[in-house]
Structure 1
Amino acid sequence: MLTSSLVLGAAEHATPHFNGGDILFQLAMFLILLALLKKFAWGPLMGIMTEREEHIAGEIEAAEKSRAEAAKNLEEQRQLLKQARQEASGLIENARKQGDVQRDEIITIARAESERIKEAAKLEIETQKEKAVAAIREQVASLSVMIASKVIEKELSAADQEKLINDYIQEAGERR
């Protein structure tokens, strides 16, 4: 029985009862805590958040400036590359033209030299031809003189005369 009275006594205490003082005290403590949080936590927290927001905005602005600068540098590099290509193309064209001019000059000089050599060779050939003709005339004259002197020395028959001419021609050929 004792246990059942304890159980009944505990049941009486277990019934909820409404205590207005505790609620007001808890409400006041909550409002004080809220004011303290606003003053000491919310203000600095909002300051940190504002500072973070400004920092992020500054980073975004710096990134935009960097991107714009990179785009500007890229465009400058493209322009420089385009200009370098144009200059290289101009240099190649000038070199080609200069090469064509030099080639034409070399061909002209070579043709002139060829003509000069050809003319010199013709002159040399003509000179040698004249010398050969002069030498033949001298030999013919010398043979004629020798034949005439032999004829004068003795009267020859046609066969003897032909043999004599052939002997002198052979003898003149051996002297050369």
Structure 2
Amino acid sequence: MTTEHQLVQDCLKGKPSAQKALYELFASRMLGVCYRYTKSMSDAEDVLQEGFVKVFHYLSQFRGEGDLGAWIRRIMVTTAINYLKKNSRYQFDLSFSADENHFLHPVSPDDPEMMLDAKQLADIVRQLPPGYQAIFNLHAIEGYTHVEISSMLGIHEGTSRSQYARARNLLITWLEKESESTKQTRYARS
């Protein structure tokens, strides 16, 4: 079995078999990353392909000091954000308006615990408006700070913070409604 270091070296030498192996090693995980930022599998696949073009283009800059998967993931996230910015279907609307009060939800320590698998949670997050979805994914999933997010998206740090809070509160509201619906269904069956 080829080590990641050797795989990178072989890719840098232009070996197609190594490039294919690197792609196959990371493609399925990175497709999941791309899918979190898009609204369709087709768009996610486009982002994945564009991301791997960048991976192979910038592979000489990978120093081997960190995890190769983390390095590739960062490229995929950046590629996804750039895709969202340039694709009119995903135009961010991060403005405030009076009719957005339905997003506000008091967050308390007694929020319901939900038993969700990763796919169910991802499906719920994907229902957020594109700007909220991107900010929620960048902060909650990828671990970027609001300063980093503001730089990536070209918004103010405060906007990133408020949109993250709104996305989180909206998700909590949806989860509470789902929890109530599930409880009512269970009681109806009893």
TM-score, normalised with respect to structure 2: 0.13
Which structure's relative contact order is higher, taking Cα pairs within 8 Å and 6+ residues apart? 2
TM-score, normalised with respect to structure 1: 0.14
Q: Which of these two proteins has the greater Rg computed from alpha carbons?
A: 1
